[in-house]
Copies of this chain bind each other. A is one copy, B any other.
């Protein structure tokens, strides 16, 4: 294992490689550090050209977990699709879709959860806790089941029924909270502190989670063999965006690439704290009021942890990228476009990256020849009620006769 320590991203203080949620000195966000010189010496980069069939754990030398501790449902190794028809619609040459709906529980969250729960197992944990309003909770419930760990999941009582169903069926203890996601977040932290249960809440709380996210960069390197100009990421707090950028920085440290992609943070207009700060030129992100958007996966007001948004803001600026907000109508149109052109049934949040293409093109940020990756972060099957309101299912029921069906098809064609 080449991981060496935790390091505070703000003050640089160092800590041993154990689950910890914030810097003891300045409360800054913690990051996992590695011995990159040793990696180079031992030639582990050759792994980027080999597929071993273990998903993101094909890259286990670049992750902070011992081999025997890994808890996996074979997350990662998601496909990358070159989508010519979508590109043509927008007058772009190279639009790629990184299809994260293909992860075990249907979203990219499986990557950070697999990494963080593996570390929890390494540390001997038998109980984990999380707060989430959706994909994160489903992921934690499934991985805890696989690991045989007890798991307590705090969700706002408004969470969608499909998600609750899969959480309960996996045997997790589900706690419904009268309140917002931020309320769940707070109580989960208190439980974690008092009982020393490992907290798998995403955002930047658990430093081992973001490590899972960075494997997207490794896969893109493997799939493309060049560095794309732009990577478009739907962001709530933004650990996926920050993780992918870290992955590319590591590839550069290892001498495998000589440039870095520009990172674009995509938010919904009805909940856009990072975009607001970016547009104003602020140095810090401030919490948003009440989120109003169909993109539930990024409806995160960052209340109580707006520092997380600030880190994402810094990273997208550092990368030469931008933050952009898209409205719900555009998000829904893109959800249907993804389905009818690319054959990918995504949740609205997952399609928001695709929704931002038009605006970025019109603003002149994307040039026709640029190579663009859209992260499609989650599956539509967990969020059918959001899509249901915008789709019309035919009501006519036909008698089972050729003639009846022929007449119906003639009407459809006119």
Contacts and interface: CB of A to CB of B under 8 A. Distances in A.
Given A165-B384, A169-B391, A344-B73, A398 B191 contact: no
A336 interface: yes
B79 A74 contact: yes
B384 A162 contact: yes
Given A154-B405, A400-B187, A345 B166 contact: yes
Residue picked from A99, A179, A397, most chain B C-beta under 10 Å: A397
A190 B402 contact: yes
A102 interface: yes
Interface in A169-193: 169-171, 173-179, 183-184, 186-187, 190-191
A319 interface: no
A215 to B, nearest CB: 14
Contacts of A99: 74
Interface stretch (A141-149, A200-208, A258-266): A141-149
A184 B402 CA distance: 10
B142 A345 contact: yes
Given A165-B388, A165-B391, A412-B173, A400 B184 contact: yes
A52 B210 CA distance: 27
A354 interface: no
Given A104-B343, A171-B340, A340-B170, A393 B164 contact: yes
Interface residues of A, number: 81
Interface string A322-342: 000000000000011001111
A309 B35 CA distance: 60
B178 A397 contact: yes
B340 A178 contact: no
Given A102-B102, A391-B165, A173 B73 contact: no
Nearest to A178: B397
Contacts of A223: 53
A147 to B, nearest CB: 8
B381 A379 contact: yes
Interface string A363-400: 00000000000000001111010011001111111111
A392 B173 CA distance: 12
A85 interface: yes
A216 to B, nearest CB: 15
This protein's copies in its complex: 2
A51 interface: yes
B345 A169 contact: yes
Interface in A68-95: 73-74, 77, 79, 81, 85
Contacts of A388: 161, 165
A105 interface: yes
A179 B79 CA distance: 38
Contacts of A381: 106, 162, 166, 379, 381-382
A142 B346 CA distance: 12
Residue picked from A379, A382, A405, most chain B C-beta under 10 Å: A405
A51 B222 CA distance: 13
A397 to B, nearest CB: 4
Given A53-B77, A145-B342, A179 B402 contact: no
Contacts of A391: 165, 168-169
Contacts of A392: 168
A187 B401 contact: yes
Interface of A: 51-53, 55, 73-74, 77, 79, 81, 85, 99, 102, 104-106, 142-143, 145-146, 148, 152, 154, 157, 161-162, 164-166, 168-171, 173-179, 183-184, 186-187, 190-191, 194, 222-223, 335-336, 339-345, 379-382, 384, 387-388, 391-402, 405-406, 408-409, 412
Q: Nearest 8 pairs between A and B by C-beta?
A: A183-B400, A146-B343, A171-B340, A381-B381, A74-B79, A142-B343, A51-B51, A179-B400
